[in-house]
Amino acid sequence: MKSKAKIIACLALSGLLSACSGQKPATVTASIPAVKPQAQAGRKMYYIPSPPLPGQWTVEDILQAYGAFATRKLNPYFAKAKVSYPPREVIFIALKQERKLELWARDSGEFRHIRDFDIQAASGVAGPKLRQGDRQVPEGIYRIAELNPNSHYHLSMKISYPNEFDLFHAWQEGRADPGSDIFIHGKAASIGCLAMGDEAIEELFVLTAQVGAENVKVVIAPHDPRAYPLEADSLELPEWTPELYSIIAREIKNLSPEVKSAKTRF
């Protein structure tokens, strides 16, 4: 019986890892619903005909299904910040300790803070991601590499981890597998990704699709450097962590001179 229980547990963990990575394992293909679930019961939706087979949604399908609702929710925040919608550029600032994702955008001139979203789950601790399977949310400056409309976590956006900085230090230290498949996604569970909940990921996904993934930057920090300095205060952190934290802090602090009290909390 104990052996059987171990096998079941291993299979369950395997399925979870595949789901978070956005890949579609053959054993759970049938679990993908033909119609995406509503993130909020009773709201007005604009459904499209089901795709021919499960798991064949396109980004355009998602825009048709959620675009109007997400745009209506985001527009007042952009109007208040005096930024046109959709904007020209977007920056997501993810703060691991605060469990918060800040949305900044601009059409011209400086970036302006639009709104905050609560991060529902983010596994790991302060410090950069070093290897596959460490369940760490990475830290650094990234781009949106891919929009995945068929995620097992409702919707997901793949970030460009590992970037050149990550790969250089992995090579320098002989780490052959620094990991990959890090996403910003829906639901509220994380094994190295940023889980935002279903309704929030709909807004973020739609915004990114409308702006263009190439115009979206993602900055992930262990905590808010505007509150207190980013310091590599653990002997377990790599010796290059201070350099990384200097890059991250500069990126966030250069966004805008505005005081955080001007922000609107989600």
**Annotated catalytic residue within 113, 169, 185, 223:** 185
- Tokens 């021919």 belong to 52
Closest CA to 137 of 146, 147, 128: 128
Q: Is 36 exposed, middle or buried (0-12, 13-18, 19+ CB in 10 A)?
A: buried
The residues near 166 (Cβ < 8 Å, ≥ 6 apart) are 128, 129, 138, 140, 178
Catalytic residue among 20, 113, 169, 193: 193
As given in the structure block, the two tokens for residue 74 are: 């985001």
Residue with tokens 């891919």: 146
Give the Cα separation of 122 and 120 in Å (integer).
Answer: 7
Question: How far is Cα 160 from Cα 142, in angstroms, rounded to an integer?
Answer: 5
CA separation, residue 40 to residues 92, 185, 197, 199 (Å): 23, 16, 11, 7
d(CA 174, CA 100): 33
CA separation for the pair 266, 253 (Å, rounded): 21
Task: Tell me, yes or no, if 152 is annotated catalytic.
Answer: no
Instruction: Determine contact, residues 101/217, Cβ cutoff 8 Å.
Output: no
**Do 166 and 138 touch, CB atoms closer than 8 A?**
yes
Q: Tell me whether residue 185 is one of the annotated catalytic residues.
A: yes
Catalytic site positions: 185, 193
